[in-house]
């Protein structure tokens, strides 16, 4: 007797059977072997997976990676910044630094992060 999972595959090639409701058969696209859909009645197939399993199986990188706090701090320190002659609204310093990141979709402008070098006041603008 075959298990519920085995009934979905060709016993010759191991390929997934293609179900055709019009003919009432499940056919292997490689070998042509077929089985009546009536033979498959009563089978219940349950499959469970999670994202970690899926990524591992297909060797995928996550879209958003977790960053350790230490790594994030090192990244911020190494970020290239430019300066602009703008008065800080909090402490009155005459110069502020800024950097940009593409946070929204590619057809929209970048986000500009502006920070006071004296008091670390921060703000962001969308360009």
What DSSP state is assigned to residue 74? Answer: H
Residue 87: how many other CB atoms lie within 10 Å = 12
pTM for the model stands at: 0.38
Distance of CA 59 to the CA centre of its chain: 12
Residue 10 marked ligand-binding: no
Separation between Cα atoms, residue 48 and residue 56, nearest integer Å: 15
Residue 7 marked ligand-binding: no
Over its length of 127 residues, how does the chain's per-residue pLDDT go in tens digits?
444 456 788 888 888 889 888 888 999 999 999 988 888 787 776 777 788 888 888 888 766 666 566 555 555 555 667 888 889 999 998 998 888 888 888 888 888 888 888 888 988 888 8
Residue 88 marked ligand-binding: yes
Residue 116 marked ligand-binding: yes
CATH topology assigned to domain 69-126 = N-terminal domain of TfIIb (2.20.25)
Q: Element (H or E) spanning 72, and its range?
A: helix 69-78
Give helix then strand counts, H and E, for the chain: 2, 7
């Amino acid at each position: 007797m075959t298990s519920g999972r085995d009934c979905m595959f060709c016993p010759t090639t191991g390929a997934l059977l293609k179900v055709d409701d019009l003919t009432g058969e499940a056919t292997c696209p490689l070998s042509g072997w077929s089985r009546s859909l009536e033979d498959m009645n009563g089978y219940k197939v349950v499959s469970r997976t999670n994202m970690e399993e899926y990524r591992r199986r297909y060797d995928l990188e996550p879209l958003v990676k977790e960053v350790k706090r230490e790594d994030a701090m090192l990244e911020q320190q190494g970020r290239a910044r430019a300066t602009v002659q703008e008065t800080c609204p909090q402490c009155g310093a005459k110069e502020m630094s800024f950097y940009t990141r593409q946070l929204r979709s590619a057809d929209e402008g970048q986000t500009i992060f502006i920070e006071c070098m004296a008091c670390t006041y921060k703000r962001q603008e969308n360009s």
